[in-house]
Structure 1
């Protein structure tokens, strides 16, 4: 594959990851981390960049999420894969992709007395119409994203970043308490909340599809191409994250009372570019969310087309776009209220699957090891998530709260590591004694 084609695929991967949440997190991290911003963002990159890239590689090597999850067992493969696709797609990310740009960059600029619901309806009609059109032909996905939306998006982000030098806002402030005492771990946890490792399991199939469309069929070459383009995408993500974190860190003295990344970006572009800043911000959010909408529609439709072959790809694309369009106009807050706990329950399992896939050379697809690592992870995650929404499981909730890092929503790690080591040793020694 030519370098130009590799760069195009890398840009596509970058764009598929970069949605509204990815725009909002770095600025507030930069503001709160202050002078500790660079080291915090390095730890942030572990869970926001490295794991997602590894996730795409893991899915590519396994030839699909269903095959990867199938190493646990067939029931888990169906339940986990469907839950993952629906949770990260039409149940949350796709409706949010249509509403967040409107709420952040358009609604504040509507004339006084305008109907917000009518404006949202018009905006989402156009937004999901474009998403549907771009998703109808997956063969053109690479060209449309890599040659059009990705370059435009990067130029707009650079303009946002450049504005902080053209019209400086101030120096970095001292880090807040949580970032001064525990800056490494907090950055790691902030990246965990982007949920991009979960998205990577969805996008792996899309990336492989695009690579195969370039007449690369040999498994080894596909994996090599995914690794090369994934690393390039990861580098682009890190550069953009650092730009956005700088915007947040430099805004602290000028806008000390901003509470989230969206407020920081809105105030910054208004300060740097005046009225044009609103257009700039609306364009950045719309393009980012458009890419996410197209990527999720494509990956969902491809997966369910493989699952139920009698239903054509275009029918599935129509279903997901209409579903997301309706939810986007019905009230996203309620959807997020129920969807986020589901994501917290299944996200740790996705991280474990990614690591197991990368270690499969030594595990050799052994179902005992996969079950021993995955099922305890799922159990602890579900118990902890139920506790967060006020449901206590007798005895198990108490035990889960005693796990290391439980307060950071990482209690599952110790259980997973112990289960993996024990199961690996048992399998290894039993094979030696045969």
Structure 2
């Protein structure tokens, strides 16, 4: 059985791999805009940014393989295409976004340097961590995560205990679904199947424990990491809601986070916030590039050269994309997420349920249905380029951009009934 120290180190490592740029800058503005409905927004955010990602880690604990194993029951070709697509998205958007956030919050206020210089230094350090693969779990779990949590607790604690509990009005039509869709932007469901693989490989490099012991270790660590994420998100959303009178309604995500830090931490805010942002973003970038490199190495019979080359390419792409500002990267990412997230969520859920309810036929039927009914949500995310929304108004929940949910659930039930009979 795994001991307490192993569980805590693995849990801290999981937390740091999850908690990156989006996890830090998204919740405060969500709370700021939600007013007295902050708790309902927080629940929606927790569904897509905590519950689904932790279920993804549970699925990894069960499979103990790579991202490729998530879609094999649909077909090997589907699984390969899906895996490549996930890693391409991960190193093209969330990984560079961590560098952009670091530059805008942690570097720009102190140094008159370009985003290119920041990206080069940032991803050079990421590369050093990635090539020291065997030490990754201990460095993240023992060194970086406690510092991240400590600074977050300071910011949230001062806000919650020093401010009066009064909230502004909100213009949100559907706070719960707004929270779910904003949770997409954390990339954590995608992150779960990427960094979950990193955790499994890291445990295998350090331990010869049995399948059962590794499954217990990963599950226990996932529970602790999930609880920590939930508490931090609730705190950040509540902090944003409590500060509704202190800022203009047009404030950006980064401006709000910086402003809240100055109110709570005083003159030392910039230093503490810079450390927090740098650590939170850096650990996520390391996890993404490591996960991508692990996957390519696994597909090319344990080639060390493939691992090294993928790490180099991932860091170079991060340097190129990391020069764009955060708002632009978030805008570009949204349609991509509306396309890939529903399929990712369904694959996670199907890999968690008992085998008797998740046969290859069920996998195929549910994934195909989810893909078909997520297309209207994808079109709806294109803004001015979107077709007339009335075309898809007959789909239940389509007005909340989650029109795939009920058809996927119905297909899961029907396909299981058909198979049993």
| TM-score, L = length of structure 2 | 0.90
Contact kept, 8 Å, 2:87 with 2:292, in 1: the verdict is yes
Over alpha carbons, which structure has the higher Rg? 1
Contact kept, 8 Å, 1:14 with 1:233, in 2: the verdict is yes
What secondary structure is seen at the aligned counterpart in 2 of 1:194?
A: coil
Deviation of 1:132 after TM superposition, in Å, equals 0.9
Residue 71 (str. 1) matches residue 63 (str. 2): no
Give the RMSD, CA atoms, in angstroms: 2.5
1:345 is aligned to 339
User: Using the alignment, how far apart are the partners of 2:416 and 2:316 within structure 1?
Assistant: 46
User: Using the alignment, how far apart are the partners of 2:232 and 2:56 within structure 1?
Assistant: 20
2:101 is aligned to 100
Q: 2:361 aligns with which of 361, 368, 372?
A: 368
Name the count of aligned residue pairs: 416
Cα distance change on mapping 1:386 and 1:34 into 2, 3 Å:
closer
Deviations along 1:294-352, whole A, 9 cap, x unmatched? Answer: 11011110001111234432222122112211222367776655543222211100111
Deviations along 1:61-105, whole A, 9 cap, x unmatched? Answer: 222221121110111111111101111x22101111111121234
Deviation of 1:254 after TM superposition, in Å, equals 2.3
1:164 is aligned to 159
Q: 1:265 aligns with which of 253, 257, 263?
A: 257
User: Using the alignment, how far apart are the partners of 1:25 and 1:326 within structure 2?
Assistant: 23
2:243 is aligned to 251
1:359 is aligned to 353
2:24 is aligned to 23
User: Using the alignment, how far apart are the partners of 2:250 and 2:336 within structure 1?
Assistant: 29
User: Using the alignment, how far apart are the partners of 1:247 and 1:331 within structure 2?
Assistant: 25
Q: 1:85 aligns with which of 87, 92, 113?
A: 87
User: Using the alignment, how far apart are the partners of 1:204 and 1:250 within structure 2?
Assistant: 34
Cα distance change on mapping 1:424 and 1:79 into 2, 3 Å:
same
Deviation of 1:258 after TM superposition, in Å, equals 5.3
User: Using the alignment, how far apart are the partners of 1:335 and 1:162 within structure 2?
Assistant: 30
User: Using the alignment, how far apart are the partners of 1:2 and 1:334 within structure 2?
Assistant: 44
Contact kept, 8 Å, 1:105 with 1:266, in 2: the verdict is no
Deviations along 1:112-141, whole A, 9 cap, x unmatched? Answer: xx4xxx432332222112111111122111
Cα distance change on mapping 1:107 and 1:420 into 2, 3 Å:
same
1:432 is aligned to none
Contact kept, 8 Å, 1:269 with 1:281, in 2: the verdict is yes
Deviation of 1:199 after TM superposition, in Å, equals 1.1
User: Using the alignment, how far apart are the partners of 2:387 and 2:103 within structure 1?
Assistant: 40
1:210 is aligned to 202
| Structure 2 unaligned spans of 5+ | none
Residue 382 (str. 1) matches residue 375 (str. 2): yes
Bigger shift: residues 195-204 or 9-18: 195-204
Residue 241 (str. 1) matches residue 233 (str. 2): yes
Cα distance change on mapping 1:10 and 1:327 into 2, 3 Å:
same
User: Using the alignment, how far apart are the partners of 1:255 and 1:332 within structure 2?
Assistant: 20
What secondary structure is seen at the aligned counterpart in 2 of 1:171?
A: coil
Contact kept, 8 Å, 1:169 with 1:253, in 2: the verdict is no
| Structure 1 unaligned spans of 5+ | 430-434
What secondary structure is seen at the aligned counterpart in 2 of 1:354?
A: helix
Residue 409 (str. 1) matches residue 401 (str. 2): yes
| TM-score, L = length of structure 1 | 0.88
